[in-house]
Structure 1
Amino acid sequence: MNKKQKKMLARIVLSALLMIALQFVPVDGVSRFLLYLVPYILVGYDILIKAVKGIKNKQVFDENFLMAVATLGAMALAVSDNGDYTEAIAVMLFYQTGEWFQGYAVGKSRRNISELMDIRPDYANIEQDGQFMRVDPDEVAVGTVIFVQPGEKVPLDGVVVEGCSTLNTSALTGESVPRDISQGEEIISGCINMTGLLKIRTTKEFEESTVSKILDLVENASSRKSRSEAFISRFARVYTPIVCYSALALAVLPPLVRMYFWGLPPVWGEWVYRALTFLVISCPCALVISIPLSFFAGIGGASRAGVLIKGSNYLETLAKTQSIVFDKTGTLTEGVFEVNAIHHNVIDDKKLLEYAALAESASSHPISKSLRKAYGKVVDRGRVTNIQEVGGNGVIALVDGVQVAAGNAKLMKRLHISYIDCHQVGTIVHMAVNGVYAGHIVIADIVKPASKPAIAALRREGVRSVVMLTGDSYKVANQVAVSLGMDAVYAELLPADKVKKVEELLLKKASGSTLAFVGDGINDAPVLSRADIGIAMGAMGSDAAIEAADVVLMDDDPMKISTAVRIARKCMAIVHENIVFSIGIKVVCLVLGALGLANMWLAIFADVGVMILAVFNAMRALFVRKYTEQSGVDQQKNVSLRSA
């Protein structure tokens, strides 16, 4: 609890004790009124002040106005009848208790967001005159060498130029598994250095760093309202004035009808009491508070699990997901390609691999990296000229003045070069030297152990269609798709082809359902933007993912996708429960109040009781069951062990 919540709780407790104690004080008249006024003012003065401010600002119809009118009216009736002031005090007391619970619930959900906000670094260490000096991360220029000591947060993105260590990435990924880092590797801001001293050369300014983008994403999530929230806001703006005028009509019209048409006494006190009860019952607190809180708690619970959802509108859309389209490389597979075989023709395998590594030296594609890794030597870029990258085909370059073509079968056909087909499973890099076929290199990717359990988990969550898109060959794509139990696979696609295929699938999907695309965020930005909901995974350090996707998974565990869907569906189920429960109870109690069958105590339950129950229900969205994520991986491991 914060200081404000503690103060409010003290006011509630003290007011309740005074109200109970006054039951045993034998006083009447003005003295009785003044004594009971003390606990009323003590617990409700801020509500009265807010109601007055609302009237001054011409924003009359809100819950503060309803509570002020209802309780002041009840106090006035008690004065006129020398009756019981307890009801008026109790209404204000229980309303403030409900507000306190709501504040506590919001604070709890905000603490989950705050834990993520703790990744923001306070300073960066730079060396000056042989000593470390702390500076604001905003002041550190790109290319500056900074030092991160054990226990400190990494303040900026960069490359490790000296040292090795273990990083705690739990604030970003939601997982406690440490990650090793060493010289030459990229490092992102927001991680905590656990062991050794790291010397890092920064590659981005602070405002462009990973930690800044993530913080901005989370801070702005609440500004993107869902349809449910927008509906509740519009509903409250229309509903509150209607019930105020209805209460006024209930207080005035029946007595007038009794007096002028039936010739009976008007009984003003009874009908005013019914109208005040009607006002207390009608207060829309449960809806206005619990629905946004449900979304806020859902986003908070997701962020704690390493799933960043950009807004409640995306949470609502994600909950309707019936079809999921996966990119293959880096999403369902490790994205770590290794050279499995070299089949040479006119030159030996070492020379063939050297030509391939040099020709591909300018590319950042995982296959190019695997070729350079297999080559095992420092690539001399000065030996390579006239590099032409043919999208979806491969690369043509001059290596030591010799024309080298490295790519798939499409490239060979494009160059009118006869090639030898390879029946090994993997990605085949065909090589041609000076227009003559020189052989091919077989490169294989590895399916992630969690991919198959992740697909099964999605089906358990109700996802009906799981599709895979890839630029890889049909043979490789089919093998991966069959092993994972995909419903369909589309291979040998260029980036533009992936967008077209997603558009075709969008036209075929069921009305009212959502199609999600899952990619690694590096080259999938167009597709992530085109799908109903774009999910980028393994996005630590990927600017394209954070910018283009609607949901960002901070590590490369595909089980997090089912976690995200489960969180969204749980959150929306809670929202619908609260809407039905709140409106249903309100309608029943309003009818009872209008007929004189409900008193202030039932009104208190209809308002405060329903609000507290709805708030506690909303808080369930904070909690995410993690054992279901791990169980799938463990199950897959057990299957592998049995088959071995």
Structure 2
Amino acid sequence: MNIYRRVKQMSKHLAKPEKTKKNPVIDFSAKEIHIPEKKQKKKTKSHVSKAEDTFQTAMLNKTLDRKFSLSELALAIAALVLLVVVNFLPTSGIVRLLSFLVPFLLAGYSYLFEAFQEAFIGIVLGRELIVTVASLMAFCAGSYNGGAAVMIFLKLSDMALAYAEMMQAEKVNALYSLRPEKANLVNENTVSVVKAETLKKDQIIELYAGDIVPTDGVVIDGTSVLDASTLVGGSLSFPVAAGSTAISGCVNVTAPIRVRVATEQKDAMYSAVLRAAENSWMHKSSQERLIQKVVSYLTPALVIAAFLLAIVPSISTGDWRTWVARAAVILTVSQLYSVVQSVKLVYDCAAVYASARGIVFKGHDVIEALSRAETLVFDKTGTVTEGKYQVKDVFPKGVSESQLLFLAGAAELSSNHPIARAIVAASGAYASDVKVLDVEETPGRGVCAFIDGRNVYVGNAAMMEEHGVEYDMPTVPGSAIHVAIDGRYIGHIIVDDALRDGAFDAIEELRMSGAKTSVLLTGDVHSSARKIASVLNFDLVKAELSPDEKCKAVEYLMSNRNVNTTLAFVGDGICDTDVLKCATVGIAMGCFDKPDAVEACDIAILGDDIHQLPKAYQAADRAAGAAFLNTVVCSAVKLLIAIFGAAGVVGLAAAAFLQCAAVMFESINALRILNYEENRQKPRIKWRKGRLNHERSDESFI
């Protein structure tokens, strides 16, 4: 594809970044958090500016589009060997020139053609055009070996990057293996094989043992076990029967089942995950944007400097061959796309690495932001706890236990909150057993319902106070759900949630990896929050918060963080989607069957294993470190070559070799992230100020 068409294509994908507003400062120590009202805007990813990035991105993608080929690599190696041989041949004059043109053309014929394309359409700063000019300048100056070496080492550099891209593509193809191309469509009494992408809603498909679920649906016949281990990056399997949900990407393990299609394959859960991982490159990190901005100014400056170096000293000294050869070195250095390539490749590898483990980064900027997160804010339910509430005790007042449970369960029938589901399960209430009208759910408080001609209020203490109901204070630990009928208090129900296995170890691992402050926000009562915060050693905790108050608390913490750090919020994506959007980085756990959570968050952890959280943090940290190292190495090599090349210490052949070596180092450094094994190394400890002296704050914020 020529460069003009690529520039035109890339311009369609790029948008200008939005300006962010400074967060207001609020009093977090108060029980009630106050913040100036403002219109909540959905958090959007920052894109690079179209004006400064279209050409740069076109050049970058054109380079990365080169496919790794053993024949191309063999051709480059053969050209290199031939260059070495020709360099020692006792030839001179036109014979020596022609002998060096052979390896030059052998390695650079494709670059010469692309240079002609760039010159024809007027792209004067195209990589191939400038490198070709540098090679021809070297030949004119009599540096035949340097002119040929530039093309040879450029080819080897491109093959190194193409190999890294190929390894990354293999990992991506492994992800796509969980989205089958075929499906068994049931038509009356026959089963036919069709393309999975053609499946429509309400069609029936049959899954045999070993088949992968092609799209989301509902089981209508048969019982089996679905295995989601590959999808979530850990051990996860669950039984299904008629009425159960079948999630795309899961493997049917034991017996045939029939599934009614709920969504087309392109809209299925796993397709959304693949799109998020695939499009992460569109949301560039600040490091990438900064480098591209610098390159947009530095490349033309170096090109101008190279031509001035070739012209001015040549006029004053008359020794044009020496200065033209030195200018050719500066021209090769002016091509800084390898710096951009190296950083992009690192973040791409990190995104693919995480996706293979059930962690979806939705942008390079998200990876960078998570690597700088020193404040981690946790929602309690479904994150540090299992999110599976159970009724522990019932305290009726003027009614029987069964009546209290039944009324509460009837009011909570339509709610999806984990506490509501626990009460419904304990009450045995069914929709056909009672006539429930006008149900109104208030997030963070409870529900109001009109049942058999009476107003029933089921919720926490804040709801009782809102409706002027006097309630009893609970005497046992747990979350108290109060119930009132027409303003008359009839008792409360105690529910409790078990601490998630490994929560303490995961949070401690995050601290060792660099998370400086851990905060717990919950809508539960103080006693339950204190217990969890004490066991898990949270620095700060605040209880009895509504979703809006959680947003305000997160905004307060963001406004008081260090300038160069970020804040990450971890939730389950059920009742905290607004909070996920408020934080710098929103992380949703256990969302492989929650499409809304995947849409709202920045990082989706598909499984319920809390140990995936430190894995995500460490992967982001490794990516940011590798990107910084690649930037430093590549920039340092080019700077030294420019200085010593202008001074005549480094020739063109040596300059080309050093730049090729730098690119190979960057490719290997990126592949280290792609092939990293957690068991090989212990988590790195970030030696930040105050990290090893970590103590719990005296201020409980309750």
TM-score (norm 1): 0.89
Q: Distance in 1 between matches of 2:682 and 2:190?
A: 46
Alignment counterpart, residue 113 of structure 2, candidates 46, 49, 52: 49
Counterpart in 2 of 1:635?
none
Q: Secondary structure at the match of 1:146?
A: strand
Cα–Cα, structure 1 residues 506 and 53, in superposed 2: closer, same or farther, change >3 Å? Answer: same
What is the CA distance between 1:321 and its match in structure 2? Answer: 0.7
Cα–Cα, structure 1 residues 416 and 313, in superposed 2: closer, same or farther, change >3 Å? Answer: closer
Q: Distance in 1 between matches of 2:197 and 2:268?
A: 10
What CA deviation, in whole Å up to 9, does each residue of 1:191-212 have, x standing for no partner? 2223321222233333332122
Cα–Cα, structure 1 residues 628 and 434, in superposed 2: closer, same or farther, change >3 Å? Answer: farther
Q: Do residues 342 (structure 1) and 381 (structure 2) align?
A: no
Counterpart in 2 of 1:98?
157
Determine if contact 2:171/2:352 at 8 Å carries over to the other structure.
yes
What is the CA distance between 1:628 and its match in structure 2? Answer: 9.0
Q: Distance in 2 between matches of 1:15 and 1:390?
A: 73
Q: Distance in 1 between matches of 2:464 and 2:334?
A: 75
Q: Distance in 2 between matches of 1:588 and 1:17?
A: 27
Counterpart in 1 of 2:350?
298
Determine if contact 2:409/2:428 at 8 Å carries over to the other structure.
no
Determine if contact 1:329/1:335 at 8 Å carries over to the other structure.
yes
Q: Do residues 15 (structure 1) and 79 (structure 2) align?
A: yes
Alignment counterpart, residue 294 of structure 2, candidates 235, 241, 244: 235
Segment of structure 1 superposing worse, 138-147 or 608-617: 138-147
Counterpart in 2 of 1:357?
409
Determine if contact 2:449/2:455 at 8 Å carries over to the other structure.
yes
Counterpart in 2 of 1:69?
133
Determine if contact 1:282/1:607 at 8 Å carries over to the other structure.
no
Counterpart in 1 of 2:366?
314
Cα–Cα, structure 1 residues 6 and 180, in superposed 2: closer, same or farther, change >3 Å? Answer: farther
Determine if contact 1:290/1:615 at 8 Å carries over to the other structure.
yes
Q: Distance in 2 between matches of 1:392 and 1:306?
A: 30
Q: Do residues 584 (structure 1) and 636 (structure 2) align?
A: yes
Q: Distance in 2 between matches of 1:614 and 1:406?
A: 59
Amino acid at match of 2:494: V
Q: Do residues 561 (structure 1) and 613 (structure 2) align?
A: yes
Amino acid at match of 1:577: L
Structure 2: 5+ residue stretches without partners: 1-64, 685-702
Q: Distance in 2 between matches of 1:373 and 1:217?
A: 36
What is the CA distance between 1:25 and its match in structure 2? Answer: 6.2
Q: Distance in 1 between matches of 2:171 and 2:493?
A: 49
Q: Rg bigger for which structure?
A: 1
What is the CA distance between 1:536 and its match in structure 2? Answer: 1.2
Q: Distance in 2 between matches of 1:16 and 1:512?
A: 46
Q: Distance in 2 between matches of 1:346 and 1:443?
A: 20
Q: Distance in 2 between matches of 1:91 and 1:414?
A: 77
What is the CA distance between 1:381 and its match in structure 2? Answer: 5.3
Amino acid at match of 2:249: G
What is the CA distance between 1:602 and its match in structure 2? Answer: 2.4
Q: Do residues 246 (structure 1) and 305 (structure 2) align?
A: yes
Alignment counterpart, residue 477 of structure 1, candidates 504, 529, 534: 529
Q: Secondary structure at the match of 2:635?
A: helix
Q: Do residues 620 (structure 1) and 672 (structure 2) align?
A: yes
Q: Distance in 2 between matches of 1:596 and 1:411?
A: 80
Counterpart in 2 of 1:531?
583
Cα–Cα, structure 1 residues 303 and 391, in superposed 2: closer, same or farther, change >3 Å? Answer: closer
What CA deviation, in whole Å up to 9, does each residue of 1:91-144 have, x standing for no partner? 321221111001101221232233223333313322124221233444433333
Q: Distance in 2 between matches of 1:416 and 1:74?
A: 89
Amino acid at match of 1:212: S
1:380-395 equivalences under 5 Å are 380=432, 382-395=434-447
Structure 1: 5+ residue stretches without partners: 79-83, 259-265, 633-644
CA RMSD of aligned residues (A): 2.7
Q: Secondary structure at the match of 2:573?
A: coil
Cα–Cα, structure 1 residues 395 and 250, in superposed 2: closer, same or farther, change >3 Å? Answer: closer
1:76-475 equivalences under 5 Å are 76-78=140-142, 85-258=144-317, 266-376=318-428, 378-380=430-432, 382-401=434-453, 404-433=456-485, 436-475=488-527
What CA deviation, in whole Å up to 9, does each residue of 1:470-505 have, x standing for no partner? 111111111111111111111111111111211222
Q: Secondary structure at the match of 2:200?
A: coil
Amino acid at match of 1:267: D
What is the CA distance between 1:282 and its match in structure 2? Answer: 4.2
Amino acid at match of 1:438: I
Determine if contact 2:68/2:166 at 8 Å carries over to the other structure.
no
What CA deviation, in whole Å up to 9, does each residue of 1:395-424 have, x standing for no partner? 343445565433223334444444332221
Q: Secondary structure at the match of 1:330?
A: helix
Amino acid at match of 1:249: L
Segment of structure 1 superposing worse, 100-109 or 32-41: 32-41
Segment of structure 1 superposing worse, 307-316 or 233-242: 233-242
Cα–Cα, structure 1 residues 435 and 585, in superposed 2: closer, same or farther, change >3 Å? Answer: closer
Cα–Cα, structure 1 residues 442 and 499, in superposed 2: closer, same or farther, change >3 Å? Answer: same
Alignment counterpart, residue 551 of structure 2, candidates 493, 499, 512: 499
Q: Secondary structure at the match of 1:472?
A: coil
Determine if contact 2:590/2:606 at 8 Å carries over to the other structure.
yes
Q: Distance in 2 between matches of 1:439 and 1:57?
A: 80
Cα–Cα, structure 1 residues 189 and 271, in superposed 2: closer, same or farther, change >3 Å? Answer: same
Determine if contact 1:284/1:607 at 8 Å carries over to the other structure.
no
Segment of structure 1 superposing worse, 60-69 or 43-52: 60-69
Q: Secondary structure at the match of 2:153?
A: helix
What is the CA distance between 1:543 and its match in structure 2? Answer: 2.1
Cα–Cα, structure 1 residues 292 and 398, in superposed 2: closer, same or farther, change >3 Å? Answer: closer
Cα–Cα, structure 1 residues 394 and 249, in superposed 2: closer, same or farther, change >3 Å? Answer: closer
What CA deviation, in whole Å up to 9, does each residue of 1:262-318 have, x standing for no partner? xxxx22222222222333344324313212112212212222222111111122222
Q: Secondary structure at the match of 2:69?
A: helix
What is the CA distance between 1:465 and its match in structure 2? Answer: 1.4
Cα–Cα, structure 1 residues 67 and 176, in superposed 2: closer, same or farther, change >3 Å? Answer: farther
Amino acid at match of 1:253: V
Amino acid at match of 1:599: G
Q: Secondary structure at the match of 2:381?
A: coil
Cα–Cα, structure 1 residues 291 and 631, in superposed 2: closer, same or farther, change >3 Å? Answer: closer
Q: Distance in 2 between matches of 1:595 and 1:62?
A: 26
Aligned residues: 620
Identity, in percent, stands at 32
Amino acid at match of 2:168: S
Amino acid at match of 1:154: V
Cα–Cα, structure 1 residues 394 and 321, in superposed 2: closer, same or farther, change >3 Å? Answer: same
Determine if contact 1:285/1:607 at 8 Å carries over to the other structure.
no
Q: Distance in 1 between matches of 2:601 and 2:67?
A: 38
Q: Distance in 1 between matches of 2:333 and 2:439?
A: 75
Amino acid at match of 1:68: T
Segment of structure 1 superposing worse, 168-177 or 422-431: 168-177
Q: Secondary structure at the match of 1:69?
A: helix
Cα–Cα, structure 1 residues 288 and 365, in superposed 2: closer, same or farther, change >3 Å? Answer: closer
What is the CA distance between 1:149 and its match in structure 2? Answer: 1.8
